[in-house]
Amino acid sequence: MDVFLNVLLAIHVLVAAGIIGLVLLQHGKGADMGAAFGSGSSGSLFGATGSANFLSRTTGVLATVFFITSIGLTWLASHHRAGDSVGVMKNAPEAVVAPASNDAKKDAAGAADSGKGGAATGTGTEGAKPGDVPK
């Protein structure tokens, strides 16, 4: 299934590049604008309109292929099984929390006992239980 998806994606990108190239190669109707205002002879306001040439027909065919590959890619992406998904976080290592060192525990306990700071001194929450409401 992944091979088919990759092949369809490659075709899609090549067709998109082909459409861009063909559109840039085509002669626009606005280029004959000067002929409509007296500098030449033309049958209509925006230049002579004739049958479609090779470039315009090829652009139409490539546009059709582009739409078909777009629908195919959409269908393949929506029917892709979740178990087959390989995300960027699949092989990420688990987060490891390092335990506090004994020195840090002693420093925190010493600061709380001596009254020189720490979270437990001077906050007014000494002896409070988790369900108590502050006054």
pLDDT tens digits for range 81-95? 655 556 677 777 787
**pTM to 2 decimal places:** 0.49
CA distance 64 to 58: 10
Top-confidence residue, 32 or 11? 11
Please state the domain extents for the chain.
2-42+53-81
Would you call 124 exposed, middle or buried from its count of C-beta atoms within 10 A (0-12, 13-18, 19+)?
Answer: exposed
Conformational region of residue 17, where left means phi above 0, alpha means psi within -120 to 50, and beta covers everything else: alpha
Q: Is 25 helix (H, G, I), strand (E, B) or coil?
A: helix
Q: Which of 94, 22, 87, 95 is nearest to 59 (CA)?
A: 22
Mean local confidence (pLDDT), 65-86? 83
Cβ atoms of 108 and 116 closer than 8 Å? no
Show the DSSP H helices in the chain as ranges: 2-25, 33-34, 54-78, 102-114
Tens-place pLDDT, residues 92-115: 778 777 776 766 666 666 655 555
Segment 47-60 shows an average pLDDT of 77
Name the 3-class secondary structure at 134: coil
More confident site: 2 or 39: 2
Q: Is the pLDDT of residue 30 over 70?
A: no
Q: What is the pLDDT of residue 52?
A: 72
DSSP assignment letter at 99: P
On average, the pLDDT of the chain sits at: 75
Q: What is the pLDDT of residue 70?
A: 96
